[in-house]
Structure formats: C-alpha cells, structure tokens
Amino acid sequence: MSPTPHFLGPLLEPGQSTLTLRLDRTGATVAEHVELASDSKGRTRGLLGRESLADGSVLIIAPCNAVHTFFMRFTIDVVFADRDGRVLKVCRRLKPWRIGAALGAFAALEFPAGWTDRSGIAKGDYVRVA
C-alpha cells in the first residue's frame, strides 16, 4: 500500500532538481529555491547554524507541526500547511528563542522574515510544489 499523496510529492520524485513553490490563488511563484528536510537529521537541524535564508528560498520541514528558533541567529516567517498544501497558520517574523505550532499541520515552511507579507500568503491559501 502506498502512502497518502501530499503537496510535496514532486520533491520526492527522482531527478527533480529545479522546483518552485507556487501560491494557487494567484499562480505566483512564492519561492524559487525549495529545500526539503524530511529525514530526522534534516528536521532536527533545520536552519540552525545558518547566518540567513536567502530571499526567494524556503526550507520545508515535513512531517512537522511545530518549530522553534532556539539558537537561531535570525528572524523567519513560518507557514504551517496540511497534507493538501492548505495554509493553516502563518507566523510572521518569528524571532530567535520562540516557538510556532499549528494543530493538524503536516509541514512547516520557513521563509526569510517578511517574505509572507511580500508574497501574499494567507491562512486558507493553497501552496504547491511545481
């Protein structure tokens, strides 16, 4: 029996190297560089040890329904989405030493601070990896 499909499916297909994250409502590209942290090591590390996250980039942590910014050096935006890519919650400008969570979330999408405002992502929107 195969696992239930989810909005991150294209990231798991072999040979996919240049994928983007799109906002269904507008068709706009939200992130031009998509990084997936789906194993235990990747999810644990997240953005720790980095100086920043480049504009146009997103780190998607899955499965994940809560993140912390303990020991981080910069502020981020976090979007929590369900398996279908529906945005459940947006945490804007999550500073170091904070926690963000959303019940029912399948993935946490971490963006540079202010990126969700510039891209227009809001609760109820759908995001897609393409």
Q: What is the 3-state secondary structure (H, E, C) of 50-88?
A: CCCCCCCEEEEECCCCEEECCCCCCCEEEEEECCCCEEE
So what's the pLDDT on residue 3? 54
Residue linked to tokens 């994928």: 19
What pLDDT score was predicted for residue 11? Answer: 79
Question: Can you give the pLDDT at residue 16?
Answer: 63
Residue 46 lies in a domain: yes
Does any domain span residue 59?
yes
Tell me if the pTM is above 0.75: yes
Does any domain span residue 56? yes
Whether 126 maps to a domain, the answer reads no
Chunked into runs of 10 residues, the chain (130 residues) has average pLDDT values of 68 75 95 88 74 92 94 95 97 97 97 95 95
Identify the CATH number of the domain in which residue 70 sits. Answer: 2.60.120.1140
Total of domains in the chain: 1
> Domain containing 41: what range?
9-13+21-121
Q: What is the pLDDT of residue 127?
A: 96
pLDDT at 4: 56
Q: Report the 10 Å Cβ neighbour count for 86.
A: 18
Q: Please check whether residue 129 lies inside any domain of the structure.
A: no
Task: Look at residue 1 in the predicted model and tell me its pLDDT.
Answer: 39
2 domain-assigned: no
